[in-house]
């Protein structure tokens, strides 16, 4: 999967100063990823163990002190 760089010229507001839909959705997605206390996340050594612990694909878990995202 190719990474894309953030484009600083990307508009975040319209001429009236309201957030455009793409930016509003981006911020909403960031809020969904916020983690109050990472220590409360399930601890698993890899995606297979995370799956066994009930972590869904795309959700967060930790491997000790490393924050992980389950991808498979």
pLDDT in tens, 19-69: 787 777 777 666 666 666 777 889 999 999 999 999 999 888 999 989 899
Q: What is the pLDDT of residue 10?
A: 73
Which ranges in 1-72 belong to alpha helices (H)?
Answer: 21-33, 47-52
29 versus 11: the higher-pLDDT residue is 11
Q: pTM value?
A: 0.52
Q: Which residues contact 28 (CB under 8 A, 6 or more apart)?
A: none
pLDDT higher than threshold 70 for residue 2: no
Predicted local distance difference test score (pLDDT) of residue 40: 82
The secondary structure of residue 58, as a DSSP letter, is T
The pair of three-digit structure tokens given for residue 22, joined into one six-digit string: 């793409």
């Amino acid at each position: 999967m190719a990474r894309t760089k953030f484009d600083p010229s990307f508009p975040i507001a319209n001429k009236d100063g309201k957030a455009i839909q793409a930016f509003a959705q981006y911020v909403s997605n960031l809020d969904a990823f916020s983690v109050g206390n990472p220590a409360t996340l399930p601890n698993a050594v890899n995606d297979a163990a995370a799956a066994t612990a009930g972590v869904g694909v795309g959700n967060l878990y930790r491997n000790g002190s490393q924050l992980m995202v389950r991808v498979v």
